[in-house]
Chain A
């Protein structure tokens, strides 16, 4: 970048960040990163994702009042991404359900049958 370096710290520091967290929970940032990375590698097209996001938000809004506390932008984002990948045949109908169940079964608190918990790394 060729622009002049600004004073980043100090009282006159410009709004380097949004002044608040973009993500309130880690999964939100993963859902965000997934969509951006899939767009960058060409697995999805941004405009197709945007249209699916619009549709998903529209469905939520048709069923709720604007102030409804269950609103979650990133949930709509996750649902839209899943739906788009389903429609494109990238994932199958039950893929996410089944993997979610597997992950839930391994998570502490969900695991009642085994006495040792598996860690999953990726």
Chain B
């Protein structure tokens, strides 16, 4: 690893790509397409649509909680990292928060690529040991009677949170509801605020 430490990592990535392109094992245009897709097209909006539908459609909500992968596929969301999607529902009694302590697995198809804090060693270790303190640092205060459950994406499972529907949203359409849902709420470090 002597050379690898002397040269910038960017050079190794470029070297690896050029070797694989030379051997026709990878097509740079295919890479470009995936990068563009996950940088700009696939994002938390997908998950927000799923959440809003679950709020207005009890049968869809049941299907979503029973088999996340199949339910989000109904909306056209599928892809790598979402083959085993499990959706946990937050309630007034139980608050779930997602982590992947081992390698930062994340359901790309519904949430896009994970934010940097999700991948940080500090978040990955601390959210398990002291979830209440970490959520407090994110600005989320939960009552002492609320049980916090940490969903750790070990094995092949990826988690997404179905947050609580905020009060005062009875008259909102599915589209208007989706607009309220944030990525942070679907990872479980925030709740969904009502319309301002």
Min distance, Cβ B136 to any Cβ of chain A, angstroms: 18
Q: Are B15 and A73 in contact (CB under 8 A)?
A: no
B-side interface size class: 35 or more
Q: Are A36 and B34 in contact (CB under 8 A)?
A: yes
Q: Are B16 and A82 in contact (CB under 8 A)?
A: yes
Partner of A99, one of B15, B25, B105: B15
Min distance, Cβ B167 to any Cβ of chain A, angstroms: 18
Q: Chain B binding site: helix, strand, loop or mixed by DSSP?
A: helix
Q: In the complex, what residues of B have CB within 8 A of residue A61's CB?
A: 121
Q: Are A20 and B115 in contact (CB under 8 A)?
A: yes
Q: In the complex, what residues of B have CB within 8 A of residue A96's CB?
A: 4, 12, 15-16, 19
Measured CB to CB, the residues of A under 8 A from B are 1-4, 6-8, 12-20, 22-27, 29-34, 36-41, 43, 46-47, 50, 53-54, 57-58, 61, 64, 66-68, 71-75, 78, 81-82, 85, 90-91, 95-97, 99-104, 107, 120, 122
Top 7 A-B pairs, shortest CB-CB distance: A33-B31, A27-B10, A99-B15, A66-B121, A22-B113, A1-B76, A73-B119
